[in-house]
Structure 1
Amino acid sequence: AALETKHDADLSAMKERFLRLREDHLARQRRHNRGLHTVGVLHKIPSADEQASEFSVRANGGMSVTVWPGAAIDAAGNEIFLDAPLTLAVQPTEQDKRVYVVVSYVDHFAAYIEDLTQPFTNQARTAQCQVTDVPPDNETWLALAQIDLAAGVSEIREPVDPVNPQPNEIDRRVRVFSGAVSVQPTYLDPPVQRHLVQTMLATRHHFAALTRRFPTPSLDDVRYGAVHLQMTATSVDRGGVFNALNGLSLIEETTESELAQRYPALIDEDATMGYKGAINELRQTLLQKQDLDTVLTAQQAVAEAALLLSEVVFPPPVAVAGADQQVTTPDAEAKVTLDGSGSEAGPGRKIVNYRWDVV
């Protein structure tokens, strides 16, 4: 009994190691497929039998169809393979209805390894086909054909005109074929382009206002970055926009430090706190890789915070000359010592010079 228990444990451990190694191999294979191929049926390999490839769906006469062998790749990169013709029954209907012949990936071999007591079947096949009235997503379930069934249908036929199938005829036009993954960049959709342009216009305008009021070296850099993004909105992809906005946010962060060093009076202003908070929110959206519209909205908030910062109003300084003095002098001029200790420059500022007017 002890030997049998140890044997079972060793067999279980060996099975786990095998499945883990196999899954590692399949993961690399799926990644390879996603990098090179789009989702769909693989194009026909030349064959003497025109039906024996490409997952072609054919009428049998009566209420059944045959799915011919083929290969395909789903959105996860799984290789779907059907090695022999497969016949599927189509249920009659009492009302007009559209049905789909679909295929998806299934790992029979993994199921067999999980339970070795089950009979060994054809493990080369990784395709499961079925007839359904649920439209396929063409990601997990791929469409091979569709049929518009008429009420009372008794036979499914080949299409007289494959370009324009009629009710009860097989429509193979829905079959999606796999292709090569494009190496060309995918540019922004027009609505996102407009959002980008509007955000960069606001950034340029609002940071220009801040530059006029509180000039710092990095403010010009922000405006230059905004101009560049605005000009390239129609020729940049999402990755390029994210990289540019990440760089722009770092410059805007530098602006905050420069303002604090050059204009100490700004440090405790609510507008400064708002600008700092907007920068932090933008950085978070970038780090979390949120959708581009959300990131652009966060950048718009930074620009609006910069505008508010440019409109900060400081209370005017108060100059106090001290107590009244009477001075007698034979000339038109006299030297007077004034007590300016009661003067106030305001929070975060200091008095560096006085100008007194004779009244």
Structure 2
Amino acid sequence: MAGLGTFVRRLFSADDAGISVPAMDGVFKPDNRLEEAERLLSLPAIDNLVASPARLLCSSGNTLFRIDLGRAGASAVAIAEFAAPISFVASAPDGRLAVGIEGEGLQIGQPGTWRRIGLPGGVASCLTAGVFTVDGSLYLCVGSRKHPARDWKRDLMEGGSSGVVLAIDPDSGSQRELAAGLAFPNGAVMLGNGRLAISESWRHRIVALDPKLPHPVAILENLPAYPSRLSPASDGGFWMALFAPRRQLLELVLREDDYRREMMATIDPGEWIGPELAGSARPDQPLSQGSVRQMGVLKPWAPSRSYGLVARCDDSGRPSESWHSRADGSMHGVTSVCEHGGSVYAASRGSGTLLRLPGTTSGGARHG
């Protein structure tokens, strides 16, 4: 009986020893608005949406694209090619771009005039996000010192907390560390009060960095999904992309060290029980008992390993609205979202689709 009591306490505990996850309710009540959003174009593994002063940009693999928007839809025009996959893109007020290249480091400039910024060892392979300040400085997120950006799932499974945030002067290349010991910092945005907000994926929270304080301060905690890129909202606050859901089965795996280590040592990473950017119809995919499919039909409320979610938050970090693609949808793995020209766009990396969100308008914003 004592063993049964311990199991029940672990199952329903809300502290670090439990495997409970916050319900999708309240502001995060599921809907189909992301699934029903306007689909503008298809681009495999689309990522890193960013609005420069005059255009909308994105990446796919090693290529940086300009997105041309018209009444008939949208088209992607390649403007730069790099030697390795692009891991983040940021735009400065003057139009300069910062581009993270996996394993290659940081490039700043414009197509045809790139300049490489030297970075410390162990940093260049996992640049996940960045944001320029008004004075042209760059705040840079390093998701992990141990793994490249493509191995994000391994970093999660190992309980990674080696992420750092750096402040970089693009002109001189000088650098200083703002925060360390972060669990995969994966998005950055400047708040209206001058603080820097960072999404910390593996701790499912948003933290604020303040030069006057010695440590990051959590402004939004216990999210129901893993947060990714952040971008400013034109009338205050910020947009947040959440790339995969938290599930009880995944939380259990993260807490069972022996099981997880054996899984990682003996099974291909594509078969690990963990979050995914896209769903799969393969019959051998790990299931949470029989609750994923019933009578061969994938239910919208199934505990899927992938999901589509975008949220809007105010300057204090409080969410005010959300857009969803549920388990039976396909617009999953949203890794970035931004405003441009009075509309809000999201990149579903899982489906390779650029979306224009319904029910959102803005007066246009400066994005970094």
TM-score (norm 1): 0.22
Structure number with the bigger relative contact order (C-alpha 8 A, sep ≥ 6) is 2
TM-score (norm 2): 0.21
Write 1 or 2 for the structure with the bigger share of helix. Answer: 1
Q: Which has more radius of gyration? A: 1
Write 1 or 2 for the structure with the bigger share of strand. Answer: 2
